[in-house]
């Protein structure tokens, strides 16, 4: 399987990084050997509805991480109000991140949450650029870039989401759309900073629709994304950057997706609200 080739990736990158540092269950130094370590993540969106439901779900998901689980990073991106609750519930076995962040640090921004606020409660990861934030809330590439820059500035990490609409995909524009979103979203981020960045490719037409890009289609776009990263930075950085697939990932689809050479993990929506389903995704099998 592709994950056995970590040493090849390490050989391509000359310096060590702090790509993903957790505490408790997965506590260990993080180096370039982790650069393409599998990363399974869940995005709870506007769910669940109560604190107790969040506690129960987080605990059940963390229980799915055992000594038999594939050697992978596992994270949950949860609503702001459940961040500390979820962190307590998972007891260090799962990383907890925020679903977004405001690029401003302080001031008259009612309802906003800053990166420094997140960091102060122990959060080190946040999403940026999810299609629902782009489409429903009107976040621009410039705003998303501001989020990425602020998180990096504070020593935190970001999962930058990119992806095309169904119309754009049908017009063979997936690569072009991803190139624009990547180049604008990563503006001002250095090669060294990329150790704190994960890319999540989410075709908009597959989010919450039940449609899943075939493993071959997903792999083809992931390869394009890696080529774009090589154009922005260099081949070494492109090879070291983890690119996840998101879009109606299920227990039935995860194994074939994870077998693709350029797919390094998954950003899971609906299935992350079902502990049994997400547990199976965390415990993906080689095919």
CA of residue 67 relative to chain centroid, distance:
23
Residue with tokens 């501001």: 146
Q: Which is catalytic among the residues 99, 202, 236, 239?
A: 202
**Per-position DSSP letters for 184-228, written without gaps between them:** HHTTT--TGGGGGEEEEE--GGGSSSS----HHHHHHHHHHHHHH
Spatial CB neighbours of 89, under 8 Å, sequence gap ≥ 6: 54, 55, 58, 59, 62
Q: Which is catalytic among the residues 130, 168, 219, 236?
A: 130
* Cβ atoms of 176 and 165 closer than 8 Å: no
**Exposure of 68 by Cβ count < 10 A (0-12 exposed, 13-18 middle, 19+ buried)?**
exposed
Judge whether 202 counts as a catalytic residue: yes
The H or E element spanning position 274 is none
Residue with tokens 């650069």: 35
Phi, psi of 95 (to 5 degrees): -80, 140
CA pair distance 15, 6, nearest whole angstrom: 15
Catalytic residue ranges:
130, 202
């Amino acid at each position: 399987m592709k994950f056995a080739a970590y040493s090849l990736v390490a050989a391509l990158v000359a310096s060590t990084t702090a790509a993903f540092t957790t505490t408790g269950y997965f506590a260990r130094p993080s180096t370039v050997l982790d650069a393409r370590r599998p990363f399974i993540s869940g995005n709870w969106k506007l769910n669940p509805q109560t604190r107790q439901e969040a506690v129960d779900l987080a605990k059940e998901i963390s229980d799915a991480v055992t000594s038999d689980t594939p050697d992978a990073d596992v994270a949950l991106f949860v609503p702001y109000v459940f961040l500390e609750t979820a962190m307590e519930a998972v007891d260090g076995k799962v990383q907890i991140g925020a679903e977004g962040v405001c690029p401003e640090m302080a001031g008259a921004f009612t309802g906003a949450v800053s990166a420094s606020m997140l960091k102060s409660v122990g959060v080190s990861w946040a999403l940026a650029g999810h299609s629902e934030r782009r489409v429903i809330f009107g976040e621009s590439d410039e705003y998303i870039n501001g989020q990425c820059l602020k998180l990096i500035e504070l020593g935190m990490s970001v999962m930058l989401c990119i992806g095309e609409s169904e119309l754009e995909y049908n017009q063979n524009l997936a690569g072009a759309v991803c190139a624009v979103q990547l180049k604008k979203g990563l503006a001002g981020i250095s090669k060294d900073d990329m150790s704190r960045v994960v890319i999540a490719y989410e075709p908009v037409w597959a989010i919450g629709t039940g449609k899943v890009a075939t493993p071959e289609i997903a792999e083809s776009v992931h390869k394009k994304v890696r080529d774009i990263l090589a154009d922005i930075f260099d081949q070494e950085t492109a090879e070291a950057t983890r690119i996840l697939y998101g879009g109606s990932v299920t227990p039935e689809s995860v194994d074939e997706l994870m077998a693709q050479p350029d797919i390094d993990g998954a950003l899971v929506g609906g299935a992350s609200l079902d502990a049994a389903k997400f547990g199976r995704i965390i415990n993906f099998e080689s095919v």
